[in-house]
Structure 1
Amino acid sequence: MDWVTALPPGGDRSFNACLVLVDRYRKPPMLLPCHEDDTSMDKAIILLNRVISNTGLFQNIITEIVIQKLEDIIIRFCAYVLELKDSDGFTHDWCTLIPALELEYKTSIHSSTGKTPVVLEKCLNTRLPHDKIKKDLVDIHPTASSFKITLDKARHNAQQMYERLFQI
């Protein structure tokens, strides 16, 4: 568990930090937008509402340097998102793209386990939207097509940042 701070304001509540949690065995990340100046009670409420309700109570909490790699990805991701504009000229908020970053990380093979976090967590391979949209169909709903393009771009950019991180 660690905090990424000094992020640009994002989301409807102008979050400027992110709580990063990673299960040390299964490796699925949880990226929770928050504020740098949150009180201990605010942080406890975040953990209760967003983490403990999904995973149960922690046996122990470890802050490790291993999370630093994921923190670097988040910082680069947020910096990239500030420059990201879609075809309509809309600039995306880093908070809205966190689910795509989590999905990319959860469905990528982890070097220490040799498996994806989703397989270790749920014992099944995740069916991703981009795998199910048939390319040979003539009538794809514009929303589905737009979602696939956005997801493909997010996956590609997250994978590039992940690869660049390990080149350093």
Structure 2
Amino acid sequence: MVGDFRALNTYAITDRYPMPRIHETLTQLSQANFITAMDSLNGFLQNVFTDNAKKLLRIIVHCGIFEYLRIPFGIKNAPSHYKRMMNTIFPEELSERWLIIYIDKIMIFSETWDSDLSRLERFLQNIVQVNMKISLKKCFLAYSELKGLGHFESAQEPEKL
């Protein structure tokens, strides 16, 4: 079932929740010897919302009225809502500045192998606790360099692709 939310989006108040700045992210990653990257599996679809919001997202068709149980694609404020949810799940990790979340892209970076493993373990404990899913196809563990965010992420100077 697909909904067209363009009309709803015109009335929605824009939620300007901040996203990480790419330059700062690349600077942080350039100091790492190990980078672990992964994607949230259907990130927005793991996000629930209020009963009031469900009513606004109803789809009426000839065979009935349907409500989304998760945030569908096409909602104007979905990225901000998702980022806020992720920041709520990982406040300590983000403030310690070894975890970066950019939409559904998650990056853990470390100077040593041991710290990479302990940070990954801590991250995984959090996602298990909140029943979050990660795309196994898009998991890259403890690489010295990765391609992502339109850039080449490594311990060397970041290079635009």
**Same fold per superposition (TM over 0.5):** no
Q: Which TM-score applies when normalising by structure 1?
A: 0.27
Q: Is the helix fraction higher in 1 or 2?
A: 1
Relative to its length, the structure with more strand (as a share) is: 2
Q: TM-score, normalised by structure 2?
A: 0.28
Higher relative contact order (CA 8 A, sep 6+): 2
Larger Rg: 2
